[in-house]
Structure 1
Amino acid sequence: MKFFLLLLFLGFFSNAWALQPEPVVQLQVRVLPETHAFTCRYTLTVPADDTATTLALHLDRRFRIERVQAPRARQQRVARVYYPFFADTVQCVQVRYAARSHHARRITLTYSGVLTEKFFTEQVMELSGHTGWLPFRPRREYEPVRYALDVRTPPGYQVLSTTAPHQHGPGRWTFRGRTSAIEITALVGPHFAQAQARARPLVGVAKAGPALARADSVLLRQAAGIIGFYNRTIGRQDSIKGFTVFLPGTNRDAFGLLANATVITYSEFNTADRGDLLILAHEISHKWWGYGSVHDENDWLNEAFATYSSLLYLQARGDTAGYRAELAKRAATIAGTPPLLGFDRTKYDYPMYRRVIYNKGTMILAALHARLGTTRFVEVLAATAARQVSTTTAFLDVVAQTAGPDARAWLLAELQR
């Protein structure tokens, strides 16, 4: 627990809070681990500069909405709508106002549900970015929000999140932070094994269950090495001071968070293997590469950048052969793909999305690296990360400012190819 207390002041009060006003989320959650059930009172406060007359929230259709509160709203309704990104229907809570407002507006949803088997074990309930337990504004799943999270549990349970508890006592844990809208995280279990790397930055692992395995200790050392490398390169203008790797053991996938954390759910994960090492490095880099929209071409700013960052780490640790082999694998998949610029994922199957957004994007970054040289290329990445660039147009501007107009023109041509 000491490790998480140290994290309270690391990253939470970051300079990102001083940027333009962001939505504020307040959550009061009661969990029943024995039945894998929860109830949630979710309040979204939209800043005054968002003057839309209609606000909507999407929620997983498995959950039961018990109450909707929207002060000063003229009309509200709940309906089922098809959401293409999920290729499924969701519950849409829509609130209309009489006119444009110059005041902050608040919507509160009270709902309840039971987690599916993918998100719990005997050791943990996983409420995370991939659980789908939170409402979100359409096409804004990953918009940054500030939040306060209050979790109530039966006696004998612990709760971990991506920050240290702001307060906690028997059966109650509160957290505050900033992350993406659907990535507010609470892991609930009877026990978590924790360890911390000895050197700075403060990197720790937290595993659901009584003890860490040898592979988990190796993972901790590797994570510290990866973060040290990123802090010297892509994160030199916005470095990580504290980071957590969560190991819930739900054996499903891996994903990174904006909140200086990553969740590795695989029950068998060994970073002595190059593939697992690249997964870890990829997910850690999402601390910087997570601001592009996942609905259009700008998703390459998330996935290609994270992929190439992991390959840069592979190269930096001396595995040049591995770096080249991984690039060659991706290069072999991009022949005949449509241009990255303007790519519409709704018109293609998932394999083509991977070939364009992940692989083609990675190869374009590798070519930009070769053109600029390592020193200038890392300057471009560091500036992109520090500015939380969210569009390809903005990235082109960073390239022009850092490497010159000729580099921008070349990159634009590659994106259109």
Structure 2
Amino acid sequence: MELELWVRLDPESGDVDAEVELAGFDGFFLHRDLDVETLTPGATVEVSTDTSAHLDRVNGYRIAGADPVRLRYRGRLPETMAEGTNVLNDDVLELSIYSAWYPVPLDLGSFSWRLHLDVPSGWRLFTNGEPGQDGVLHHDGNAATGDIAVAGARKVDVMHLADGVELVTCGSVGDAASELGPLIVQGLALLRNWYGAPERLDAGRVVVTERGGYPYSRMPTVFASAEMVEKQTARNVHVLGHELAHFWWNIAPVASHDDWINEALAEYSALRLTEELVGSEASDKVVRGYQLEAEMSREDPPMAHTDPDDEKSYATNKYNRGSLFFRALAELLEPNELDALLTRFHTAHAVAGDASIEGFVELLRQADPALAGEAQRVLEERAWDGHWPGVSLTTIP
């Protein structure tokens, strides 16, 4: 799928006026405050019954009669969207898939895009795309996560960290951001030591915007909130660690049950980072909490069959059970053996983004056939309780 977008955006008022050409799309989601009209003769775009638990206040649309199709949409977006994760005001802006400010594929899958963005003078913007020779931002579709994420402000500070990584603050983030830099450097160094150099990352960026809500990663950029930075609790260090880990664990398609790979390995890595950067007491608290939630969630499907749009089991299966699953494997294998397997796994699938749960089990089978069989059983077990017989998942008994 391909998308090219020409958009005029006024952050202060929230006004959006855009034209878009879609190729290979059979439909899309768009924020319900934006009105759509068809510009391609013979094409129709009609409101559908499609819904998504991951998007905020959207309408679904189905396309017929032409491919590619050119549309125009316009309207006024609210100041805050997606629980404060997306914002538009006279100081800062951040927009992404969660607010559906552009036509989002119905399957939430990956796509190639080109973005022509017109904002008032004085704004500096950062995206998950790359500037082309013509100055147009673009991103190829060979990525596990499809999104056009944009953050910016009139007041922007850029801190250059190690290995080409930047820390960008948008708006009045405060002095806490300066303490975030060393934390990012330490976290990335540990991840690189465990899993080798990330295949798709020449240089990364962490963008912190003056907003609330949750962080998310859209390689090669992590988008985080000032609220999280200002409160560097053990939990927030853990959450940031999860997003940093996606520099490595963004190797499976998000629009399938194999997205479990991305989230489970990012959360397992976050657990390890919490242990290293905060301490064993903090990581053990997370483990015990995850085991308790797994024990209480008795209606969840097997981890290997988690629907990508199943909001109910998303967290318990992908984050909680997923991190416990890999922590158990680390205990059952020889020291550093799981890291070696995961390094091979990342290298094999990072560029194509085609990793699968079955592929990981096969890789594990090459190292330990008996353990691979047991791992397969756990992955297929409905509502696994988070305990592996004979294995302690906490550092401190």
TM-score, length of structure 2 as denominator length: 0.81
2:105: which partner in 1?
A: 137
Is this contact kept in 2: 1:245–1:261, CA < 8 A? yes
Counterpart CA distance in 2 for 1:239 and 1:231 is 13
CA RMSD of aligned residues (A): 3.0
Say which of 130, 153, 158 aligns to 1:194.
Answer: 158
CA 251–358 in structure 1, closer or farther in 2 if over 3 Å, else same: same
Say which of 280, 298, 314 aligns to 1:320.
Answer: 280
- Listed as ranges, the gaps of 5+ residues in structure 2 are 81-86, 382-397
Q: Secondary structure at the match of 2:304?
A: coil
| Correspondence 1:340 to 2:308 | no
Letter in 2 for 1:415: L
Counterpart CA distance in 1 for 2:204 and 2:235 is 21
Cα deviation, 1:374-403, whole Å, max 9, x if unaligned, reads 4221122223323134432232233234x2
Instruction: Give the deviation of 1:163 after TM superposition.
Output: 4.8
Is this contact kept in 2: 1:292–1:301, CA < 8 A? yes
Say which of 232, 241, 250 aligns to 1:281.
Answer: 241
Instruction: Give the deviation of 1:307 after TM superposition.
Output: 0.9
Letter in 1 for 2:149: T
Say which of 146, 164, 182 aligns to 1:221.
Answer: 182
Instruction: Give the deviation of 1:183 after TM superposition.
Output: 2.0
Aligned residue pairs: how many?
Answer: 365
1:102: which partner in 2?
A: none
Q: How does 1:168-247 map to 2 (within 5 A)?
A: 174-178=136-140, 182-197=146-161, 199=162, 201-209=163-171, 213-236=174-197, 238=199, 240-247=201-208
Instruction: Give the deviation of 1:297 after TM superposition.
Output: 4.1
Instruction: Give the deviation of 1:262 after TM superposition.
Output: 0.9
Any runs of at least 4 consecutive aligned residues in structure 1 with deviations exceeding 6 A, and if so which?
none
TM-score, length of structure 1 as denominator length: 0.77
Is this contact kept in 2: 1:148–1:177, CA < 8 A? yes
Counterpart CA distance in 2 for 1:407 and 1:319 is 29
Letter in 2 for 1:62: D
Letter in 1 for 2:90: E
Q: Secondary structure at the match of 1:78?
A: strand
Instruction: Give the deviation of 1:207 after TM superposition.
Output: 1.7
2:113: which partner in 1?
A: 147
Identity %: 18
1:79: which partner in 2?
A: 47
CA 181–286 in structure 1, closer or farther in 2 if over 3 Å, else same: closer
Q: Secondary structure at the match of 2:151?
A: strand
2:21: which partner in 1?
A: 43
| Correspondence 1:365 to 2:326 | yes
1:398: which partner in 2?
A: 363
Is this contact kept in 2: 1:149–1:175, CA < 8 A? yes
Q: Secondary structure at the match of 1:83?
A: coil
| Correspondence 1:32 to 2:10 | yes
Counterpart CA distance in 1 for 2:166 and 2:332 is 37
1:16: which partner in 2?
A: none
Counterpart CA distance in 2 for 1:167 and 1:190 is 25
- Listed as ranges, the gaps of 5+ residues in structure 1 are 1-22, 47-53, 98-104
Cα deviation, 1:224-278, whole Å, max 9, x if unaligned, reads 2212222222353626431111112121221111x21111124352474211111
Letter in 1 for 2:117: V
Is this contact kept in 2: 1:132–1:182, CA < 8 A? no
Q: Secondary structure at the match of 2:138?
A: strand
CA 57–163 in structure 1, closer or farther in 2 if over 3 Å, else same: closer
Is this contact kept in 2: 1:134–1:182, CA < 8 A? no
Instruction: Give the deviation of 1:372 after TM superposition.
Output: 1.6
Counterpart CA distance in 2 for 1:412 and 1:289 is 20
Cα deviation, 1:149-206, whole Å, max 9, x if unaligned, reads 21112233322223564469xxxx6323345665212224322122111x3x112122
